Structure 1
């Protein structure tokens, strides 16, 4: 099968070809050969032009060599797509970031802040929360949470209702109703917690546009960008890789086969926080649009000014996540890292203890997929694999280190 990318001569775009080649060797010896990651797929580009592509491993348990057009569960890499969709509506003045979410979610009119209780004890009647705004949702400063945070009684009630993975059990109206009856962890805008906020934002996109989220994505993002294989669910599960789980000290364990997966069945609603499946070629197109200021091949997705606002730190007083985050888990580092409108970004490269550029923005998915966009250097990366959880290995740090070590001509 033909590779999905025609790579330029690395030297012509300021990369050292020999140093790039070390990445594939590293992935093979450190991860694929010992079974830690059953498959890996990576593309590195500059100004949208691929300079390095590597694919290793198999589609899954007893299956063929990894296909170049393999489909992956990209999980929380859905969140930046949902955030872009919402900002398209902001650009059309159908909604504003500073407006209260009750504009489209009247169910959220009587939110309260946690004041104790939970488990066998009813939640205490907390103090009323001031109105949650759309900017609180898109920045994860809403006071909502994830059951997977697994820290306290609010997380526990999210797990009881299975709110992290609700799309197979309830429709979006029921989902919002249940959330509206649960206490917030903190007052909106007063902290940062990785949460179901982007799922709620996706439902806002649906109510504002009058379209199911997947249909909105297809019409306004995927079709214009030529992302032909990205959707909620899969139509060809023979191309879907098997999903695996981390096992300490051993090879990863397969937990869901691609063929016959439930992802072939539509959910009761589309999860803006983590429901998409897609190919590396498609997500490269998405990152190409991002590094290109919101446009690709004549298709304008968002304006450069909108994208600049999205990749700017919106934490109060330019704080980083060490100062604001209450999360046990998220798809970002904390030190030197801010958060914008749907992306984490580097605000202090020295504090991250990794090679990076100020203003670089990124996110990842629960199955260890990842991407980053460096506007200063014009460098993008998309990495695909399928092992849960993404905290299993330091693969993202290692890839960034090796990619930047191969950058021979810096624009900084």
Structure 2
């Protein structure tokens, strides 16, 4: 075990980090890195059987599912989705509130929402924590409207801007999941089992861990850095990681959230990354994989996303990028448009999950990485430092192995 591994082992032993799994695979089957560190609960060491709440890593699988529907001719990327998602037919935009009240000001959207908008978070949906949605919900409750806690009830909200004109992270992929179920006449679980998991021999990823004993019994216990909120921006401090008893996401829900509902194996999630990275045709054709790795945002939407990574609260957190790094959005995740000092090459596709998980597919270098943990809050600073160190080490070792697909320009 090298100095890198010894350092991570000590961080976990000192409760600076919870249990983590670090995975790296190249597309040719020559380079492989697999390590576990720390504990999955207060008494059991983590191992490769460990399963995680995958949170927003779910979005990649939901994207793959709907792109399969595109390939089969059921829908096109630029089609108006309201022909299937009829709830969106006359959707309104929340433009503000009447003075001194929570009474919303709404106007009908002029642009139609297409599938590309949903896949790139440029449709106009946000998440519940947005203060505008909280005020909108308060106004409905004040009028005596009962809160609908079903999936459709939670995601049926007004837009925050005209479709295609800005960028906001939100419920778009939940709507994509609903779209897949209606196009296929299958549940999202059934669809992914047949069209994603079975082709790759995956058994331990699911929306319903209570129905898969292996997934449920090996689930990593959620943790949180002391002194930090469960939700919200991370606080930079030196407090230890503590185990949580409360539930962050209801894993027993019958609803299948396409934007964040999956639980499963880190090693099996890597199988999906490798399939896309290798472009092996098991999940998608070469043409649609190329589209995934094509920058999708233009104009004001591209600027809104680019400006977002430079915000002060986005610096040095988990899964962050240096201010000024050129970025865009592909289909399934964000894209860097220039080489980064950790080793990532221009065109790498990646995204994270709320409790500090991060996947990346670097087609140019031929390397796929997955950092898996379940610690809160999102953006944990210490997890971010370790993740960037892990990434840099993997690119260095991959280069040293002689199988690196192109000359590395990092340091």
Q: TM-score range by the shorter chain?
A: 0.7 to 0.9
2:234 counterpart residue number: none
Structure 1 position 309 matched with structure 2 position 295: no
Work out which of the residue numbers 251, 254, 264 in structure 1 matches 2:243. 254
Distance 1:92 1:332 in 2: 36
Structure 1 position 280 matched with structure 2 position 262: no
Structure 1 position 210 matched with structure 2 position 210: no
Contact map agreement 2:90 2:108 (CA 8 A) in 1: no
Contact map agreement 1:192 1:324 (CA 8 A) in 2: no
Tell me: CA distance 1:240–1:116, structure 2 relative to 1, closer, same or farther (3 Å): same
Distance 2:217 2:160 in 1: 42
Unaligned ranges ≥5, structure 1: 1-17, 162-167
Structure 1 position 243 matched with structure 2 position 222: yes
Tell me: CA distance 1:337–1:294, structure 2 relative to 1, closer, same or farther (3 Å): farther
Distance 1:85 1:122 in 2: 38
Shift of 1:56: 1.3
Contact map agreement 2:125 2:171 (CA 8 A) in 1: yes
> Counterparts in 2 of 1:78-117, with a 5 A limit?
78-117=58-97
TM-score by length of 1: 0.82
> Counterparts in 2 of 1:7-22, with a 5 A limit?
21-22=2-3
Aligned residues: CA RMSD: 2.9
Count of matched residue pairs: 370
Work out which of the residue numbers 141, 148, 153 in structure 2 matches 1:174. 153
Work out which of the residue numbers 371, 387, 391 in structure 1 matches 2:375. 387
Structure 1 position 344 matched with structure 2 position 334: yes
Contact map agreement 1:368 1:391 (CA 8 A) in 2: yes
> Counterparts in 2 of 1:100-139, with a 5 A limit?
100-117=80-97, 120-139=101-120
Shift of 1:157: 4.2
Structure 1 position 68 matched with structure 2 position 52: no
- Secondary structure of the structure 2 residue equivalent to 1:116: strand
Work out which of the residue numbers 261, 277, 281 in structure 2 matches 1:291. 277
- Secondary structure of the structure 2 residue equivalent to 1:228: coil
1:6 counterpart residue number: none
Q: Deviations over 1:7-59 (max 9, x none)?
A: xxxxxxxxxxx8xx443223223x31331322011111112535221111112
Tell me: CA distance 1:79–1:45, structure 2 relative to 1, closer, same or farther (3 Å): same
> Counterparts in 2 of 1:315-334, with a 5 A limit?
315-316=297-298, 319=302, 321-323=305-307, 333=321
Tell me: CA distance 1:159–1:53, structure 2 relative to 1, closer, same or farther (3 Å): farther
